[in-house]
Amino acid sequence: MELSILAAGPFQKFNESVSLVINTKDQAETDYYWNALTKNGGQESSCGWCKDKYGLSWQVVPVEYFALINNTDPKVREKAMKITLQQKKIILAELK
């Protein structure tokens, strides 16, 4: 998907009303994008959200995460959601 973003300097800053999601294939890919987005002035947030150095919001989520939070077993779902709320970057091993 191609996106065009116009910079307006100090007059029009990014905010959470515009955000992008990266669905990653595994933890290694999650780590790669998370580290790339949060370095050089980026900021970690919670539940897989972060901002890049320009202030644009991103959520970096491994696709396996959705299987955990939508699992038919309520114990699996509850554990995944409870731990997600305590995480910044999504760490799959902690959710399982």
Q: What is the pLDDT of residues 36-78, one digit of tens each?
A: 999 999 999 999 999 999 889 999 999 999 999 999 999 999 9
Would 90 be classed as within a structural domain?
Answer: yes
**H runs (alpha helix) in 1-96:** 27-38, 64-69, 74-84, 92-95
Q: What residues have CB less than 8 Å from 29, skipping those under 6 apart?
A: 62
Would 2 be classed as within a structural domain?
Answer: no
Would 3 be classed as within a structural domain?
Answer: no
Would 89 be classed as within a structural domain?
Answer: yes
Helices (H) and strands (E) in the chain, counts: 4, 4
Given a cut of 90, is residue 82 above it in pLDDT?
A: yes
Mean pLDDT of 11-38: 91
Number of structural domains the chain divides into: 1
pTM for the full model? 0.85
Would 10 be classed as within a structural domain?
Answer: no
Would 1 be classed as within a structural domain?
Answer: no
The CA distance from 34 to 38, in Å, is: 6
